[in-house]
Amino acid sequence: MVIIIGAGLSGLLTAYHLQKAQIPFKILEARDRIGGRILTYYGSKGTAVEMGATWFGPQHQLLIQLIRELNLGYFEQYMQGTSYYQASAGALAQAIILPNQDPSYRITGGTTELIKQLYNSLDKDSVLLNQTVNKLELQDNSVLVKAKIVLKAKAVIVSCPPKLWAHKITYEPKLPENLIDVAKATHTWMEDSIKVGFVYPEPFWRNNKQSGALFCNSGPLTEYYDHSNEEGTKFALCGFLHPAYKKTTQQERKLMVLNQLKEVFGEKSLLFTEHFELIWPSEKHTFYPSLSYQFPHQNNGNDIYEESYFGGRLLFSGTETSAHFGGYMEGAVYAAKAVCDRLNSGF
Ligand SMILES: Cc1cc2nc3c(=O)[nH]c(=O)nc-3n(C[C@H](O)[C@H](O)[C@H](O)COP(=O)(O)OP(=O)(O)OC[C@H]3O[C@@H](n4cnc5c(N)ncnc54)[C@H](O)[C@@H]3O)c2cc1C
């Protein structure tokens, strides 16, 4: 049996490939939910508000292929009308014209649909939640995987971010020092993000010929976009807060964001029905403090992740290991296929 550590996009997709190849597997997931950095919250009327991964572009061909294979739809990010730029909160919001660029797309019904479809294709008993793996031990012809339960595996695929498995899992025998050093110095994409979203009964911004997009250097909101559904029947705005605001209380953040929204979009922005936020740096199964400053995508796709360890029985995957769009959903899709190919060639 192959054990996959982590039920994010790469772990679930690895399982999907193994299932097709009729290789038995189990996934051990630390959280009480699947999806990892993909998490859509839904308003009471079903409005999808993305707290994690949201957009992809025409360059993300593997992801697009997967979306089609799973019979999901996608649609272009709404960007019609006036967008705004503020140098800082309180400063005058300036109407801006965005440069021509490739469109961004979102998955119909929310990015979580991708996770649900993959999960639905798997045998439910194969995904075990609340299982934080903390030790991997090589034995004669197998690896002992220790979480709340202990399982014996022919091979193990680790699909959580490298910083996490380098700091929080112990290995017997020890892994090479250079691998651990690179992993500790591998940036985890978006681990610092704070997302916030508001659901509205009416698209007041669209009615005012505004796109809903706002860009601000200092925040609290730094990037903000329309998050209405494809049909234009459910309405929301959603975006990013400056990471410094993780230090304030939820109530303070909400007040500051609403003040900023009122400045830019007017009083109607206060007439929301639901408010969501997610502080990713508080998520211990995503975030780990860095030993020193890491630049975005640092060490993503480092060659060292293509090696196998424990005599070919231990392989590393996950988007940060991907040489192709590491950090993004596209990277996770690439990594899942690449690790299965390596596994098949190793045994
Ligand atoms: C706020 C935010 C916005 C983003 N926006 C975009 C975007 O617009 N477009 C895009 O392409 N990408 C975006 N991303 C990145 C995208 O979410 C990731 O590329 C992708 O989801 C990574 O999937 P993964 O399976 O490699 O890793 P993860 O999703 O991190 O999955 C790893 C899994 O391992 C589990 N785990 C951790 N430690 C252990 C352990 N010890 N034992 C067992 N399980 C463990 C975790 O709980 C998690 O479920 C965003 C991410 C965030 C956070």
Overall average pLDDT of the 20-48 stretch: 97
The answer, yes or no, to whether any atom of ligand 1 lies below 6 A from the CB of 328, is yes
- Partners of residue 105 on adjacent β-strands: 56, 76
Q: How much is the pLDDT for 114?
A: 98
Percent of the chain residues topping a pLDDT of 70: 99
Kindly report, residue by residue over 228-238, the tens digit of the pLDDT: 999 999 999 99
CA 9–ligand 1 middle distance (angstroms): 7
- Report the pLDDT value the prediction gives residue 38, as an integer from 0 to 100: 98
Confidence of residue 35 (pLDDT cuts 50, 70, 90): very high
Angle at which helices 329-346 and 61-69 pack, to 10 degrees?
80
Residues 2-13: what's their mean pLDDT?
Answer: 98
* Chain centre to alpha carbon of residue 33: 13
Condensed to tens digits (0 to 9), the pLDDT of residues 117-154 reads 999 999 989 999 999 999 999 999 999 999 999 999 99
- Cis ω for the linkage preceding 220 (within 30 of 0): yes
Write the pLDDT tens digit of every residue in 66-104: 999 999 999 999 999 999 999 988 889 999 988 877 889
Average pLDDT over residues 320-337: 98
pLDDT digits (tens, 9 = 90+) for 144-171: 999 999 999 999 999 999 999 999 999 9
Decide whether any atom of ligand 1 lies within 6 Å of the 119 Cβ.
no
Measured distance CA(116)–CA(111) in Å, rounded: 9
- Asked if the 1-38+111-190+295-347 domain carries CATH number 3.30.470.10, the reply is no
* Whole-number percent of the chain with pLDDT over 90: 94
pLDDT at position 346 over 90: no
Two structure tokens written together for 229: 């559904």
- Check if 272 has its Cβ closer than 6 Å to any atom of ligand 1: no
pLDDT of residue 99: 81
Asked if the model's pLDDT at residue 283 lies above 80, the reply is yes
Give the residue-averaged pLDDT of 196-214: 97
Nearest CA to ligand 1 atom 52: 52
Phi/psi for 79 (5° steps) reads -135, 25
Arithmetic mean of pLDDT, 283-293 = 95
Checking phi first, is residue 213 left (phi over 0); if not, alpha (psi -120 to 50) or beta?
beta
Number of C-beta neighbours around residue 29 at 10 A: 27
Q: Prior bond to 243 cis, omega within 30?
A: no
Ligand 1: does its nearest atom lie under 6 Å from the Cβ of 188?
no
Distances 297 to 118, 290, 328, 337 between C-alpha atoms, Å: 26, 13, 10, 20
Q: How far is ligand 1, taken at its centre, from the CA of residue 125, in Å?
A: 22
- In this structure, the residue with its CA closest to atom 14 of ligand 1 is 53
pTM: 0.97
Q: What integer best gives the mean pLDDT of the chain?
A: 96
Task: Report the C-alpha gap between 211 and 227 in whole angstroms.
Answer: 10
Whether residue 347 has pLDDT greater than 70:
no
Tens of pLDDT along 209-229? Answer: 999 999 999 889 999 999 999
CATH of 41-109+192-285, one of 3.40.1390.10, 1.10.101.10, 3.40.50.1820, 3.90.660.10: 3.90.660.10
- Report pLDDT for 101: 79
- Selection from 95, 55, 80 nearest residue 325 by Cα: 55
Q: pLDDT tens digits for 244-268?
A: 999 999 999 999 999 999 999 999 9
Mean pLDDT of 13-23: 97
With contact defined as beta carbons under 8 Å apart, do 254 and 75 qualify?
no
Residue whose CA is at the smallest distance from ligand 1 atom 36:
6
The whole-angstrom separation of Cα 9 and Cα 234 is 26
HEC states along 203-231?
CHHHHCCEEEEEEECCCCEEEEEECCCCC
Query: For position 89, what pLDDT does the model report?
Result: 83
* 280 has pLDDT over 80: yes
Kindly state if the Cβ of 54 falls inside 6 Å of ligand 1.
yes
Domain edges within the chain: 1-38+111-190+295-347, 41-109+192-285
User: Is residue 65's pLDDT more than 90?
Assistant: yes
- Rounded distance from Cα 217 to ligand 1 centre (Å): 26
**Confidence (pLDDT) at 344:** 83
